[in-house]
Amino acid sequence: MANITIKKPFDSHLHLRRGTVLRAVTPYSAERFGRAIIMPNTEPPIETVEQAAEYKKEILAALPRGSCFEPLMTFYLTKKLAPSEIERGQRGEGGTKIYAVKSYPFGATTNSQWGYRNILEAKSVLKKMEEVGMPLLLHGEVHLNERDEEEDPYDGEAVFIKDTLPSREAIDFMEKNGKEGQLVTTVTPHHLMYDRRHAFSGGYRALLHCKPLVKKREDRECLRDMVRKGLTFVSAGTDSAPHPESKKFSSCCAFGVFNAPVAVEMYTQVFDEIGALDKLESFLSVNGPRFFGFEPSTKTITLIKKDWQVTEPVITEDGIKIWPVAHKEHGLGNEMIRWQISQN
């Protein structure tokens, strides 16, 4: 197949940051996606309707002229998040509706210092969410135990599943218990594309440093097997997470893979490799919006099978470089992407 046309994708997991970084990276997601669930772990975190409204206004101001991209706002499950804000957000008070609440376990990833150590401490908020029907989005890892000791980072997801959910491994749990409209999961392009061999190929690859960490080849193959099945409760969530060059190429490398400039292309490449292009549209464009109460986009995008390379960083207005994953030099080395969005 030389090309494929699908409904415009929906990103169920997107970080845009704030300020100059937001203004630099937002156009890349807006070009590829019609809507996105915006993550609230900014600094400071999004905990009120007013903060969400301000954040949404900033995103809309960064869109290219004529863009129809719609940011869908969320709350961060912090100790300051009140049940009353859940009600206000569900009603869309002030014109800003809240579509979900995101839980980041304390110490798990970027800006997770405001998260709960044990999500069950948030009983009053969780109860109100259940009453109004607001989804809970889980970052399914645990890295600090009750004694503040660091667990093995490669076991973070397994510890979470063992201690918080009644199953052994995340993929197995989802395949057995996933249900459209109730319990769903998202998959990133980088966890489908890479495994631990790539992360350490020729030295540690900073652009692949993320949470959850990329795991073994067998884990990647399990993910590929899951998306190949076309399950209605599995959808795309890029987890695109930009960081300035100074934070990525440092001794304390920041967690987060910036994939917005290449995410849809990477998904398409993987689905082509596993012989599942017929499942791509549902995964990218149908399952995600349906969970959040939207019909799939009426707009389309076309991808063509054509080799190309990521050769440039994204540069903010103040000259800060943000390096995309799969970059020709800073990625794995002379990496080739096999599908490209048609500009016609």
Per-residue pLDDT at 143 exceeds 60: no
State residue 164's pLDDT score. 45
Where is average pLDDT lowest: 38-52, 69-83, 143-157, 201-215?
143-157
Residue pointed to by tokens 């800060």: 320
What is the CA 89 to chain-centroid distance, rounded?
A: 21
| Residue 213 is assigned to a structural domain of this protein | yes
Residue pointed to by tokens 């707009």: 299
| Residue 332 is assigned to a structural domain of this protein | no
Q: What is the mean pLDDT of residues 289-300?
A: 97
Dump pLDDT digits (tens) for 56-81.
Answer: 999 999 999 999 999 999 999 998 99
Per-residue pLDDT at 114 exceeds 70: no
Per-residue pLDDT at 155 exceeds 60: no
Report the residue count for the chain: 344
Where is average pLDDT lowest: 47-56, 63-72, 112-121?
112-121
* Mean pLDDT estimate for the chain: 88
Amino acid at position 225, single letter: D
| Residue 228 is assigned to a structural domain of this protein | yes
| Residue 313 is assigned to a structural domain of this protein | no
Q: How confident is the model at residue 165 (pLDDT cuts 50, 70, 90)?
A: very low
Whether residue 239 lies in the annotated active site: yes
Q: How many domains does the chain have?
A: 1
Where is average pLDDT lowest: 69-73, 219-223, 321-325?
219-223
Per-residue pLDDT at 153 exceeds 80: no
Domain with 114, as residue range(s), is 8-297
Q: How confident is the model at residue 211 (pLDDT cuts 50, 70, 90)?
A: confident
| Residue 135 is assigned to a structural domain of this protein | yes
Q: How confident is the model at residue 167 (pLDDT cuts 50, 70, 90)?
A: very low
Q: Evaluate whether 119 touches 77 at the Cβ level (below 8 Å).
A: yes
pTM comes to 0.89
One of 239, 272, 278, 307 is an active-site residue; which one?
239
CATH number for position 206:
3.20.20.140
| Residue 324 is assigned to a structural domain of this protein | no
CB-based burial of residue 326 (10 Å sphere; 0-12 exposed, 13-18 middle, 19+ buried)? buried
Token digits of residue 296: 């799939």
Phi, psi of 240 (to 5 degrees): -60, 125
| Residue 19 is assigned to a structural domain of this protein | yes
| Residue 320 is assigned to a structural domain of this protein | no
Higher pLDDT, 168 or 250: 250
State residue 185's pLDDT score. 93
